[in-house]
Homo-oligomer: A and B are copies of this chain.
Amino acid sequence: MSKPVTIALDAMGGDIGAGVVIPAAREYLRRDHETALILVGDDNILKKKLGPHPFGERLRIRHASQTVAMDELPSKALRNKKDSSMRVAIDLVKSGEANACVSAGNTGALMATSRFVLKTLPNIDRPAIITALPSVTGQTFMLDLGANVDCSAEHLVQFAVMGSETVAAVTDIANPKIGLLNIGQEEIKGNEQVKEAHELLLQSSLNYVGYVEGDDIYQGGTDVIVSDGFVGNIALKSSEGVAKMIRHFMTLEFKKNPLTKLAGLIAMPVLRAFRKRIDHRRYNGASLLGLRGIVIKSHGSADKLAFMNAISIARKEVSCDVPHRISEQVKTHLEKREIA
């Protein structure tokens, strides 16, 4: 039997920490028999919360004495928390003991620590954050979601290469369609970096389909949408905000009076099927791309199902060796540009 894939879990990260990570780990191992998980965090707490389990060596605990707070400054976490559950989980990836790690902790600290410990891949200047989002026709991947606020055209092109290769690796789309996020007005179309990136992408070997607008994210037709981290983060958060408001108003209307409550009861199976389609938990797990290792960020408020999904993403990226693929693709891309 070959060595199982091992994934390190930051068991103290996120709003709930071990209370979510342990149940998610147990349930995940019940479904996937070829993976081992390492729970990283306070030995005492984790042993007590974990209790007896049937997974043997597939579920181990690794002690880490510190925890990074959700609002801790990344630079402080990096300097002062060398034995944090987050840091130790990333160290396990660096040493090769784990093939990937998952954390629901502070995004800034996770990015800064991953970058410091693992380093970026050759020819990648900056890591970027990518995630899948639901769309009318399936799903759309989007990056960067907040790692980089000021991006040059060249950075945007690197994001496109990373996004293309990741999506080709983890989905069955061989040559993903890449779009560049822009606004639709003629002449004043795009800022300088976007215009320049557009020209570079047109010359690249990527399957670049051109500019897309904010609403295209959810309409399908593009597999990967590229933007700088400021714009990407705002697009993502605005979308979450609208979805939350819609849920709020729908609940409000169905709870208005006994008659509407009855209507809600009758419509329940339909509403449930509908909610399942856009269930954000099914999309939980954002990848930090461009590093010499696989790091997955789970949402801070992820529940068991959502955290399991983040573990699945890590597992998939390990089996496809996403960092290696990105590294090869970037090399090819650069070589082509030098010849051209």
Contact = CB atoms under 8 A, between A and B. Distances in A.
Interface of A: 71-75, 107-108, 134-136, 146-150, 181, 183-188, 190-192, 213-219, 227, 229-231, 233-246, 248-250, 253-254, 256, 260, 263-264, 266-267, 269-271, 273-274, 277-278
B108 A185 contact: yes
A218 B243 CA distance: 9
Question: Which 5 residue pairs across A and B have the least CB separation, nearest first?
Answer: A214-B237, A215-B241, A214-B238, A218-B241, A267-B267
A128 to B, nearest CB: 13
B234 A219 contact: no
A238 B253 CA distance: 25
B187 A73 contact: yes
A66 B240 CA distance: 43
A135 B241 CA distance: 9
A129 to B, nearest CB: 10
Interface majority SS (helix, strand, loop, mixed), chain A = helix
A237 to B, nearest CB: 3
A134 B248 CA distance: 12
A246 B243 contact: yes
Contacts of A72: 186
Nearest to A191: B149
Contacts of A75: 187
Given A150-B192, A230-B231, A235-B214, A270 B242 contact: no
A149 B193 CA distance: 11
A238 B266 contact: no
A242 B230 contact: no
Given A239-B239, A270-B253, A270-B263, A215 B233 contact: no
Contact of A234 (B148, B186, B231): B231
Contacts of A254: 267, 270
A234 B146 CA distance: 15
Contact of A214 (B108, B240, B245, B266): B240
Contact of A183 (B73, B146, B227): B146
B241 A243 contact: no
29 contacts: A108-B185, A108-B186, A108-B188, A134-B245, A136-B249, A148-B188, A149-B183, A149-B191, A150-B191, A183-B234, A184-B233, A213-B237, A214-B236, A215-B238, A215-B244, A217-B238, A218-B241, A227-B234, A230-B231, A231-B231, A234-B234, A242-B242, A246-B278, A249-B278, A250-B274, A253-B277, A256-B270, A264-B267, A264-B270
